[in-house]
Copies of this chain bind each other. A is one copy, B any other.
Amino acid sequence: MAPPDPSALSEKDGIPQPETVSSDQAGQIISRRQKKPSPQTLFDGISQSNVSALSRAITLVESTSPKHLEAANQIIALCLPRANRSVRIGITGVPGVGKSTFIEAFGKYLTGLGKKVAVLAVDPSSTISHGSILGDKTRMEDLVKDPNAYIRPSASGETLGGVARKTRETITLCEAAGFDTIIIETVGVGQSETAVHSMVDFFLLLKIAGAGDELQGIKRGIMEMADAVVINKADGDNVKRARLAKTEFNRALHLFPAKKSGWMPKVETCSALTKDGVDKVWGLISDYLELVQGNGYFADKRQAQNQYWMMETIHEQLQRHFFSNPDMVKEIERQKTAVLQNEISPFAAAQSLMDRYFNR
Interface residues of A (CB under 8 A from B): 69, 73, 76-77, 80-81, 83-84, 165, 168-169, 172, 215-221, 224, 252, 254-257, 303, 306-311, 313-315, 317-319, 321-322, 335-336, 339-340, 342-351, 353-354, 358
Q: Return chain B residues, CB-CB under 8 Å to A349.
A: 310
Kindly report which residue of chain B lies nearest to residue A213, judged by CB atoms: B255
Q: Return chain B residues, CB-CB under 8 Å to A257.
A: 217-219
22 A-B residue contacts at CB 8 Å? A76-B347, A77-B343, A77-B344, A168-B346, A168-B347, A215-B255, A217-B257, A220-B221, A220-B256, A306-B340, A307-B336, A307-B346, A309-B346, A309-B350, A310-B336, A310-B346, A313-B346, A313-B350, A314-B353, A315-B319, A317-B350, A317-B351
Q: Return chain B residues, CB-CB under 8 Å to A168.
A: 346-347
Q: Are A342 and B220 in contact (CB under 8 A)?
A: no
Q: Return chain B residues, CB-CB under 8 Å to A317.
A: 350-351, 354
Q: Return chain B residues, CB-CB under 8 Å to A343.
A: 77, 80
Q: Are B310 and A335 in contact (CB under 8 A)?
A: yes
Min Cβ gap A218→B in Å is 7
Kindly report which residue of chain B lies nearest to residue A69, judged by CB atoms: B351
Q: Are A315 and B314 in contact (CB under 8 A)?
A: no
Contact with A348, one of B73, B254, B308, B321 (Cβ below 8 angstroms): B73
Q: Are A255 and B218 in contact (CB under 8 A)?
A: yes
Min Cβ gap A77→B in Å is 7
Q: Are B310 and A314 in contact (CB under 8 A)?
A: no
Min Cβ gap A194→B in Å is 13
Q: Are B314 and A345 in contact (CB under 8 A)?
A: no
Q: Are A315 and B315 in contact (CB under 8 A)?
A: yes
Q: Are B169 and A345 in contact (CB under 8 A)?
A: yes
Beyond A224-B220, A314-B353, A322-B318, whether A306 also contacts B346 by CB under 8 A is yes
Kindly report which residue of chain B lies nearest to residue A308, judged by CB atoms: B346
Q: Are A307 and B345 in contact (CB under 8 A)?
A: no
Kindly report which residue of chain B lies nearest to residue A254, judged by CB atoms: B216
Q: Return chain B residues, CB-CB under 8 Å to A73.
A: 345, 348, 351
Q: How many angstroms between the C-alpha atoms of A220 and B254 in the bound complex?
A: 12
Kindly report which residue of chain B lies nearest to residue A332, judged by CB atoms: B314
Q: Return chain B residues, CB-CB under 8 Å to A217.
A: 257
Contact with A340, one of B307, B351, B353 (Cβ below 8 angstroms): B307
Residue of A76, A254, A319, A346 with highest tally of chain B CB at under 10 A: A346
